[in-house]
Amino acid sequence: MSSEKNNGNLLMIPNEKLISLAGKFRIGFESPASNAKSDQQFCRDYLHSMNWKLGLCLLVILVSGLFVSGPWQASSLSIVVLLILWPYLLSGLGTGFSTLAGWLFSALYLLANSEFSNMSIESFQSGLFILAITNVFGMFINYSHRCFAYRLFCRNKSLQQMAMYDDLTGTYNRRQLIELAEREFKRALRHKTNLALMMIDIDHFKQVNDTYGHLAGDQVLVRMTQELKTHLRTEDIAGRFGGDEFMIILPGTTPEKALDIADRIRHLVNQVGIDCAGEVICFSVSVGISTITSATGSLLELITDADQLLYSAKSSGRNQVRVN
C-alpha cells in the first residue's frame, strides 16, 4: 500500500514551483518574436524554454514506457492527473490539442478500468506512450517552424532597416525623410502649428573627396551626422537627403527659433576637425530654412523653398544661413 501511495504521489507531481515554471516556459515559447525585448534575449529565452520542454517530454516518455512495461502499479487518480496536466504543459502541438488529448485519454483510461468496457489497460498504456512520442515530434516540428519564422523576422527587420536608414550615417534616408516630413506637414496644417524645414549642405565637399579621397569624405559625413544628433531636440527629425545634403524637420518651431538652431549647428561644425593621414580636415555648412505659412500649399513647396534658400546661402559665399 505504501509503495502504491508513493508511486501515486510521484505521478501526480505536487511540485507547484515546477508546474509554475513549466507554465511560464509555455507562455514564453508561444510569444511572437516581435514582442521580444531584443533579438539576443529572444534567443536566450527560446533556447532555455526548449531545453526544459525537451527534458519534461522525455520524462513523460520514460514514465509512459514504464507503464507499458508494467513494473508500476499506479492509482487511477494519479494517471488522470498526469494525463490532464502534463500533455497541457508539454505538448508541442498547441494548447488546444494537448488539453483535448489529455481529457480524451483520461476518459479512455477510466473507461478501460470500468467493468462495462472490454478495452484492456495495456491498450490504454500503449496509447499513452504514443501520445508522449507525438508530443516530442510535435515539439520539434513546432521548433523548426518557429526557427524559420524567427529567421524570416530577422530578414524582414534587416530589409526594413535598409528601406528606412542610410547605410553610411545610420540616419533616415531620403525616402523615409519625405514620408516623415509629409506626416509632420499634414499635422501642422491640421493643428495650425509651426513647422520648419532645414536643408544643410557641406561646403566644398567635392574638393574634400578629390583632395583626401572618398573615405575621408565619408568621415566628414559621419561626423556631420554625429553633430546633428548631439545638438538637435528629441522631437526633431534628421536624415541624409542625398550626397552631402541633409534635411532636418523641426516640428513646432518658429522661423526665429529655427534660425537660432541653424546658427548653433553652423558654429559647432566650424570648430570640428577630422584627422586624416596626419592632416586636419575642417569644413563648414550652408543652410536654407523654410517655414510653413498660409501660402504653403504642399510639402514639395516647402522643400523647394528651403533648397532655393540653401543655394542662395552658397552663392553668397557659403557658411551662411538663409530663412524665409
| Three-point CA angle 279, 281, 286, nearest 5° | 170
Whole-model pTM above 0.85? no
Over the stretch 114-129, which tens digit does the pLDDT of each residue have?
555 555 555 555 655 6
Of 3, 19, 125, 12, nearest to 78 by C-alpha is: 12
What are the grid coordinates assigned to 101, written together?
A: 488529448
For residue 320, the 8-state DSSP code is -
3/64: higher pLDDT: 64
249/149: higher pLDDT: 249
Q: How far is CA 221 from CA 137, 167, 204, in A?
A: 54, 12, 13
What is the chain's mean pLDDT, rounded? 74
Q: Is the pLDDT of residue 292 over 60?
A: yes
277/179: higher pLDDT: 179
What are the grid coordinates assigned to 309, written together?
A: 534658400
Of 254, 257, 314, 269, nearest to 288 by C-alpha is: 314
Relative orientation angle of helices 95-113 and 76-90, to the nearest 10 degrees:
160
What are the grid coordinates assigned to 10, written together?
A: 510521484
Q: Are 90 and 60 in contact (CB under 8 A)?
A: yes
d(CA 238, CA 104): 61
CB-based contacts of 273: which residues, under 8 Å, 6+ apart?
280, 281, 282
What's the confidence (pLDDT) of residue 137?
65
Q: Are 149 and 91 in contact (CB under 8 A)?
A: no
CB-based contacts of 65: which residues, under 8 Å, 6+ apart?
129
Predicted confidence band of residue 95 (pLDDT cuts 50, 70, 90): very low
CB-based contacts of 39: which residues, under 8 Å, 6+ apart?
154
Q: Is the pLDDT of residue 11 over 70?
A: no
Which residue is listed with cell 492527473?
81
Over the stretch 219-247, which tens digit does the pLDDT of each residue have?
999 999 999 988 888 999 999 999 999 99
Cα dihedral angle (268, 270, 271, 273), rounded to 10 degrees? 120
Share of the chain above pLDDT 90, in %: 43
For residues 76-97, average pLDDT? 50
